[in-house]
Amino acid sequence: MKFVIIGGDAAGMSAASRTKRNRPEFEVIVLEQSQDVSYSACGMPYNIADPERSMEDLVVRRAEVFIEKNKINLLTGHRVTRIDRKAGKVIGVTQDNQAFTMAYDALFIATGARPHVPDVPGIDLPGVMPLKSLAHGKKIKVFIDTKRVKKAVISGMGYIGLEMCEALRARGIAVDMIKPGPIFLPWMTPELSQVVADEVTANGVNLYCGEGITAIESVDDGGLMVVGEHRKLPADLVISASGVTPCSELAVEAGLETGIAGAVAVDAMMRTSDDRIYAAGDCADAIHVVTGEKCWIPLALRANRAGWAVADNVCGKEIRLQGVVGTAVFKVFNMQVARTGLSLQEAREAGFDPAEVVIKSRSKAHSHPGSAMIHVSMVGDRKTGRLLGAQMVGTDGVAHRINAPAVALHAGMTVADFIQCDLGYAPPFGPVWDPVLTVANQLIKKL
């Protein structure tokens, strides 16, 4: 078996390593266009925040280890340009401009996602940078370390934009954030997103929602000027964080099916419409467990899990993934933000008859020192009583709390089922009724 993997990031390297563990006799070739494999992309903002830490800390395993210890034929600097399904091979070019071809018995497209680049004059100026690859992260860090960066503008207010805003503030850089969409965290219930927005602005960051960038200009002193629809924002550094797009071009050109958001369409075994070709990670879609419909939610755990599933399936184990519930957590300044499942709006769009409750609760027991406010929302379906989603914001004890409703979503629990759950209680960790139970106790009255 000759198993060729395009892309050496989370999904690709997970699949490569597991395939060699399962079946050491398989030939596993990974074609990675960059020089970097197996690094913690999500850790980049935290690393950039700390001038004492090296970007190399983020590398989990070096290419040589995969080659020598795992016996993976890992070829960095190899960019695939075409898949020839009929011939069962991929065609590409190396960083030295050498053409190559590689035959496969099984192929895995793990090409990930790329930053969406807004079509704006000046987006390619030096000092305007996205953050997706390790190379991007290094470039931003070197720029901050070596230039006199006093002011930055971040285009976009997603997870990466917000994490970068905290990182830049930690480096003493003034930050403005701007995006064309009118609503800050549009997937979040308004009461909760306001808490996050307040935390960001309390840390000296200006938020300009509903304002597109029309141009980025070079100015005389060597700096930049971000021209918005209603204002001009001077900057020494511009972070372009306007979301990501699946890298599905190779799949499209090879005639494979794509679906939602242009991601490669896969079944529960991660097979594309060609059963010798798998796709997974940020370039591929998934079933949303709550809606039963396809979705594209590019997150790290799914990429790793799906990479393993591909490996097992290539090795003949027949692993089917149930799908995702869209659980996501992030931190911005002191605020922890978490979500799982559907928002009220998403639930409506998916055809449910949803009800939502928003509560405030304490993170620790009555009168326990260090107890902080947690804002929690929960959404359930009036027709079936089913739990559909939950969101949470607070400075203490938010992130791990979201996993209880996340598991309940996988189990298809009703809100009434969830209320019965025997969760842990001790005064240093929560009230007797955990906030996720308190919100469920309120929600059941509306269903």
Identity of the residue numbered 313: N
Whole-angstrom Cα distance, residue 207 to residue 376?
A: 23
Whole-angstrom Cα distance, residue 401 to residue 361?
A: 13
Q: CB 250 → a copy of itself: shortest distance, Å?
A: 25
Helix (H, G, I), strand (E, B) or coil at 160: helix
> Angle at Cα 70 formed by Cα 285 and Cα 67, nearest 5°?
95
Taking CA atoms, 326 is separated from 295, 357, 388, 407, in Å, by 9, 20, 11, 11
Binding mask 144-183 for a copy of itself (x = CB under 8 A): ---------------x------------------------
185 binds a copy of itself, rule: CB under 8 A: no
440 binds a copy of itself, rule: CB under 8 A: no
Number of amino acids touching a copy of itself (CB under 8 A): 69
Whole-angstrom Cα distance, residue 249 to residue 113?
A: 11
Token reading at 203: 């840390």
Q: Which of 36, 107, 430, 444 binds a copy of itself (CB under 8 A)?
A: 430
**Is the CB of 182 or the CB of 424 nearer to a copy of itself?**
424
Identity of the residue numbered 78: H
Binding mask 38-77 for a copy of itself (x = CB under 8 A): --x-xx--xx--x--x---xx-x-----------------
Candidates 42, 165, 247, 295; catalytic one: 42
Q: How far apart are the first and last CA of the chain?
A: 54
Question: Checking DSSP bridges between strand 27-32 and strand 2-6, what pairing results, if any?
Answer: parallel
300 binds a copy of itself, rule: CB under 8 A: yes
Q: Which residues contact 436 (CB under 8 A, 6 or more apart)?
A: 376, 378, 390, 392, 401, 404, 405, 418, 423
Whole-angstrom Cα distance, residue 55 to residue 114?
A: 20
Q: Which of 209, 225, 269, 299 binds a copy of itself (CB under 8 A)?
A: 299
328 binds a copy of itself, rule: CB under 8 A: yes
Q: Which of 93, 170, 173, 329 binds a copy of itself (CB under 8 A)?
A: 329
Q: CB 320 → a copy of itself: shortest distance, Å?
A: 9
**Is the CB of 102 or the CB of 185 nearer to a copy of itself?**
185
403 binds a copy of itself, rule: CB under 8 A: yes
115 binds a copy of itself, rule: CB under 8 A: no
Report phi then psi at 138, rounded to 5. Answer: -60, -40
Half-sphere exposure of 250 (CA within 13 A, CB side): 28
**Is the CB of 205 or the CB of 440 nearer to a copy of itself?**
440
- Report DSSP state, residue 270: -
Longest distance between any two alpha carbons in the chain, whole Å: 70
Near a copy of itself by CB under 8 A, which window of 71-79, 117-125, 239-247, 394-402?
394-402
Near a copy of itself by CB under 8 A, which window of 219-227, 234-242, 274-282, 302-310?
302-310
Helix (H) / strand (E) containing 392: strand 387-394
244 binds a copy of itself, rule: CB under 8 A: no
Q: Which of 154, 406, 415, 443 binds a copy of itself (CB under 8 A)?
A: 406
Q: Which of 262, 333, 417, 442 binds a copy of itself (CB under 8 A)?
A: 417
User: Is 209 assigned a catalytic role?
Assistant: no
301 binds a copy of itself, rule: CB under 8 A: yes
**Is the CB of 86 or the CB of 366 nearer to a copy of itself?**
366
Whole-angstrom Cα distance, residue 15 to residue 309?
A: 8
Confirm if 130 and 136 have CB atoms less than 8 A apart. yes
Q: CB 351 → a copy of itself: shortest distance, Å?
A: 21
Which neighbouring-strand residues pair with 381? 354
Q: Which of 189, 245, 304, 313 binds a copy of itself (CB under 8 A)?
A: 304
The beta-strand segments (E) located in 263-314 are 277-279, 286-287, 294-295
DSSP-assigned letters across all residues of 51-76: TTS-GGGGBSS-HHHHHHTS--EEEE
**Is the CB of 376 or the CB of 404 nearer to a copy of itself?**
404
426 binds a copy of itself, rule: CB under 8 A: yes
Catalytic residues: 42
Q: Applying CB under 8 A, which residues contact a copy of itself? A: 10, 40, 42-43, 46-47, 50, 53, 57-58, 60, 159, 289, 299-302, 304-305, 321-331, 336, 338, 340, 365-369, 397, 399-408, 410-411, 413, 417-418, 420-430, 432-434, 436
